[in-house]
Amino acid sequence: MFAKAKDAKLYRILVRDLVLKCLIGIHAHELLAPQRVRVNVDMAVYEQAGPLSDDIANVVSYEDIIEGIKRMLADGHINLVETLAEKIAELCLVDARVKSVRVRVEKLDVYAEAASVGIEIERRQD
C-alpha cells in the first residue's frame, strides 16, 4: 500500500528527452510524413508506506510509461501537440500512486530558427 496522506512522502519519476517519430499536425505536409517530437514527463509519486523493498511492483515504472507513449503514437495521426500531452498525462494518472504529472511535448523540425515548439501541461489526481 502507498501513503496518500497530507504529509505523505513523494518521489519523482522522470522521462527526459524521449525523441520519437509520429504523425502529428494539422497541415497537409504533416499528414503525409512522420516528424520528430520530444517528450518530457515528470511525475510526483506517493512513496510506498512502510519499509521499502527492492521490487519493481513497489514503484511506478518509467518503462511502462515509455511503452505506453510508443503505443499511443503507433495508433495513428494526432492533430495537436496539446492532444498528445493530454493523452500522456492520462496514461500517467491511471496509476493512483501518481499525484501529479507535468508533460512537455515539442515538435523539433518545424522552424529552422527554433530548437523546438510545443507545450507543457500539468495535471493532478482528483
Describe the crossing of helices 81-93 and 62-74 by its angle, rounded to 10 degrees. 140
Task: Report whether pLDDT(3) > 80.
Answer: no
Candidates 3.30.70.1060, 3.40.50.1100, 1.10.230.10, 3.30.1130.10; CATH matching 10-124: 3.30.1130.10
pLDDT at position 52 is 67
Query: CA 61 to CA 74: how far, in whole Å?
Result: 20
Alpha carbon of 53 to those of 8, 79, 96: distances in Å? Answer: 18, 42, 19
What is residue 5's predicted lDDT score, i.e. its pLDDT? 63
Q: Domain coordinates of the chain in residue numbers?
A: 10-124
The string of DSSP letters for 71-120 reads HHHHT--BS-HHHHHHHHHHHHHTSTTEEEEEEEEEESSS-TTSS-EEEE
Q: How does pLDDT run across 62-108, given as a tens digit for each residue? A: 999 999 999 999 999 999 999 999 999 999 999 999 999 999 999 99
pLDDT at 13: 96
Q: Please determine, for residue 59, whether its predicted confidence score (pLDDT) is greater than 90.
A: no
